[in-house]
Amino acid sequence: MPRTHPLTGDALNAAVTDALVGIHAEHLSHVPAKAVTFHDTNVVVTLMHDVLTPAERSLASDGSSHAAVRDLHQQLHEVMHPDLRAAVEQLTDRTVTAVLHAMHFEPDVSATTFVLDEAL
C-alpha cells in the first residue's frame, strides 16, 4: 500500500534500521549491537555491527573456516531476503531490484545493500 507521504531523510533511515534489526532478531534470535542505514537516490545500505549469532561465533572460534561460517551466514540471510525486501519496499514506496549482502569477521560487521528502481 503506497504511502501518501513517504518517509525521507533521517526518518527513513531510522525506520529501515528498526525494521531490518527486527527482522534479524526475529529470524536469528540475535540483535546486532549497533546498526545504521544510509539512503541515497536508488541505494539503501544498512550496516550492522556484532551481527554474528552466538552459534556462528562459536563455529568460527572452534577452528571452522571463515568460509564455512560465511556460507552459513549467507544462507541464513537469504532466508530473510523476502522479509527484508518487503520492509524496504514498504518504507521507501519503491521496488527493490537487487539485494546484496556482505559480512566481515574482524570487526564483526555486515552490510546489506538494496538497489531500488528509478524514482517516479
Grid coordinates belonging to 91: 518504507
Grid coordinates belonging to 105: 569477521
Question: What pLDDT is attached to residue 81?
Answer: 93
pLDDT tens string 14-25: 999 999 999 999
pTM of the full predicted structure?
Answer: 0.87
Quote the Cα angle for 77-18-9, to 5°: 115
pLDDT, mean over the chain: 89
What own/partner pairs with CB < 8 Å and gap ≥ 24 does 113-120 have? 113/43, 113/44, 113/45, 114/43, 114/44, 114/45, 114/84, 114/85, 114/88, 115/42, 115/43, 116/42, 116/43, 116/44, 116/88, 116/92, 117/42, 118/42, 119/41, 119/42, 119/94
Question: What pLDDT is attached to residue 20?
Answer: 97
pLDDT band at 65 (very low <50, low <70, confident <90, very high): confident
pLDDT band at 2 (very low <50, low <70, confident <90, very high): low
Grid coordinates belonging to 98: 537487487
Percent of the chain with pLDDT strictly greater than 90:
62
How many other C-beta atoms can be found within 10 angstroms of the C-beta atom of residue 30?
Answer: 15
pLDDT higher at 86 or 73:
86
Inform me whether the pLDDT recorded for 62 exceeds 70.
no
Inform me whether the pLDDT recorded for 120 exceeds 80.
no
